Chain A
């Protein structure tokens, strides 16, 4: 047996091999570096043919959402249209320097202008910044905007609340900016415990961060009461847009009482997750917070687009330049392609798919602790052998595992998204039933384990990886 699935590129290296070509040059090489001159780097010396083989083979070790449904709850792994990839790769978008003269970047600014305009309408906000690179980056931005707003009002509010079921990024964003985090309980239905919120919502609380639909996949119907509790004490309500895919065209965070909203373009607006990123997390605010947005924003003056650097109480900048521009292009293209009706259809279909999944699995005897109500775009199942179930699904049924142990231990959070076919959802359900049978019946399990797993990688030795980390390859 080969020890490695794909040989490390460093081990393919041989002196004298190289892929690069460079122009002829008239320059007489001089030693300009003197004491700075370093020794050889230690990069692989490989031919272009080898590079092609190496990366193709690595790609083949990845399970691709193009071939299989990837129902990761809270991640919105929808199909990423190749059209958007092609459009974002136009030379006029890629080979553009952020400091070029404004007259030469009018197309670039037009993209940002329209994206901001559309996101405002979809979220019910007054204006967006397109600068944040990810959802968590949007959270940081939103918290800083909230912080600056209260400083401006000369109010000292250092506490930020979020429900126990919130994404880990919420509390991490809070404490990493020096605010104090406090957790609010959820009730038996998976909604915010209003009594607990009321108790914790004091006049030193700046923000309450909430996803709605929440991480149980449920729309919290008390949202107007929640908004009232926060606003009565002068606080701001923050919308974590991770689950926006359920409600486009049905309701808007702004109308629900939210003051700050971040949107994950790589979830709701179909831009790729790209093995972890880049994504983008545009952050919108209501009218009274507009003057605190990062600079610059894009404005239209007559027929010209321009970057506006004069925002009265701006928090500053949260990244160099203007944002993850290529991602913004893809999101705009997605919105133009779907239009108002299409976006609504996206959300509606996502919700139907998740409910179909929930109802069918319920009928098969699976437990859905919050399943007495209709879910939104994702549903949460409970299973006492959830780790094994997940492994069996991917190893023997070639079904990608959903999010496990979230929002609670033993939970399996399934988000089929709108882009899957009914057939693929049915197949997933059938695989789940088979895997569950194997867990309950050792003879079925024995049969199953005789099968060749996909891909040929069995359970990872996580203990070893954690106890003895090896984070880079040592030079031989």
Chain B
């Protein structure tokens, strides 16, 4: 009979030997410092989701997990983006994420035993900076929303100012997270309105002041539109404020380089680079900045150095910014980050290379989205909601139906429809945000257009 529990090797025989060495008779002798009245003198009550009581065997657990994952019906055509993108992930990315030598080790505090991790991060930082045009990248943050929070705090430390301007065209959940954090402490957060799908620059000019630490604009914005970046930077810099370019669809970086438009800090979400949607997390937050700003950068970063015999080696840089050294004076409290997602991004970006990533972004996302846009806006009732601006792989159209009713109908055809903008913007009720990626074929788009046309004739019933 086996007397060990799954994942524990210690047998009863081992236990008695160890008890002898320690000089105790039973396990509870070791717990004597817990006051008697505070101990849990019963078993934990963990009701099983199945008829079988816990623990489950590997077979039972496997069957159960397969069953509930199948309830999620993931086999859809997605026209839904809105901050989480259904991109294809090359097999080689998935392979390396499953390597124990990558998924099991700890944070590389000790460089001698973690050179693999450290070089991965150094290469990742380099790739991100080449995409954004900046000089320094951290080695990952939790997600785009928390990266936006951290970037704003960084800007405040750099400028000594406490006012942050954010555009209403930023992802509503990001703004929600932002406003949650900035309720604590002495902050002023100003939201700028939208004009025809882009940030109202007039309003920005009127709102900015010598107290403004940073202006944060998302590009492509929540509606998929490429904002007027040059003008934003000019307005910000006139007041010696920093311009933070927030990027939520990182694939757009293959076509648009934020430093071409004078961004000071680029923060955002790089889930598009090799990380699954996985119901919204874990994804990949990032911040890039200039060298002159790096002392206030939150999160880990890796530097190249040498070992004792002059061979190239890597180590963590700038621990003085971090919580384990500086405690209450740290630039952030971040400790665990999303290193494995950064690994995925590095492999993903190496797999596509320059030409591949550009073709993927240009032809299979942007131009395919334009094709979808043309096909859908031909259908009566589906006029473009905003006009005159370029968009990347998402666009907004009016919807002649209640959006959620339409989406329920599309689901019957195994299509996950676009995002119902009315959910976050009451003024945009009956507007729908469609997303197209390389996983959307022309046939898929034609099929969607056919169904929308058909539903116009037949109604939603």
| Contact, CB under 8 Å: B74 / A316 | no
By beta carbon, the residue of chain A nearest B121 is A275
- In the complex, which of the residues A52, A181, A255, A472 has the most CB atoms of chain B within 10 Å of its own CB atom? A472
Does any Cβ of A come within 8 Å of B451's Cβ? no
User: What distance in Å separates the Cβ of A42 from its nearest Cβ neighbour in chain B?
Assistant: 4
| Contact, CB under 8 Å: A107 / B70 | yes
| Contact, CB under 8 Å: B115 / A61 | yes
| Contact, CB under 8 Å: A400 / B390 | no
Neighbour of A101 across the interface among B100, B110, B145, B407, CB < 8 A: B407
| Contact, CB under 8 Å: B22 / A421 | no
Which residues of A, 233-257, contact B by the 8 Å Cβ criterion? 247-252, 255-256
Which residues of B, 107-152, contact A by the 8 Å Cβ criterion? 107-108, 110-117, 119-120, 122-123, 125-127, 129-131, 135-137, 139-140, 142-146
Chain B residues near A17 (CB-CB < 8 A):
353
| Contact, CB under 8 Å: A96 / B358 | no
Interface flags for A14-31 (1: CB within 8 Å of B; 0: not) read 000111101101110110
User: What distance in Å separates the Cβ of A441 from its nearest Cβ neighbour in chain B?
Assistant: 22
Chain B residues near A52 (CB-CB < 8 A):
92
Chain A residues near B106 (CB-CB < 8 A):
65, 70, 72, 75, 77, 273, 275-276
Which residues of A, 201-223, contact B by the 8 Å Cβ criterion? 218-221, 223
Interface flags for A164-181 (1: CB within 8 Å of B; 0: not) read 000111111111111101
Does any Cβ of B come within 8 Å of A366's Cβ? no
Does any Cβ of B come within 8 Å of A38's Cβ? yes
| Contact, CB under 8 Å: B317 / A471 | yes
Q: Known contacts A168-B327, A421-B9, A469-B317; decide if A4 and B312 are in contact (CB<8 Å).
A: yes
Does any Cβ of A come within 8 Å of B426's Cβ? no
Chain B residues near A462 (CB-CB < 8 A):
111, 305, 315
| Contact, CB under 8 Å: B92 / A475 | no
| Contact, CB under 8 Å: A465 / B304 | yes
Q: Known contacts A5-B312, A419-B9, A469-B317; decide if A273 and B107 are in contact (CB<8 Å).
A: yes
By beta carbon, the residue of chain A nearest B327 is A171
| Contact, CB under 8 Å: A110 / B68 | yes
User: What separation, in Å, do the CA atoms of A277 and B282 have in the docked complex?
Assistant: 9
Neighbour of A374 across the interface among B32, B72, B74, CB < 8 A: B32
Which residues of A, 40-56, contact B by the 8 Å Cβ criterion? 40-46, 48, 51-52, 54-55
User: What separation, in Å, do the CA atoms of A176 and B296 have in the docked complex?
Assistant: 13
User: What distance in Å separates the Cβ of B388 from its nearest Cβ neighbour in chain A?
Assistant: 13
- Contacts A325-B282, A459-B307, A460-B308 aside, 6 further interface pairs with beta carbons under 8 A come to A43-B352, A94-B276, A108-B72, A320-B171, A460-B307, A469-B317
23 residue pairs from A and B, CB less than 8 Å apart: A5-B313, A34-B390, A41-B130, A60-B116, A61-B116, A63-B113, A91-B75, A94-B74, A100-B80, A106-B68, A133-B146, A172-B323, A172-B327, A221-B34, A251-B39, A272-B103, A277-B107, A320-B177, A349-B10, A355-B24, A390-B110, A458-B112, A471-B303
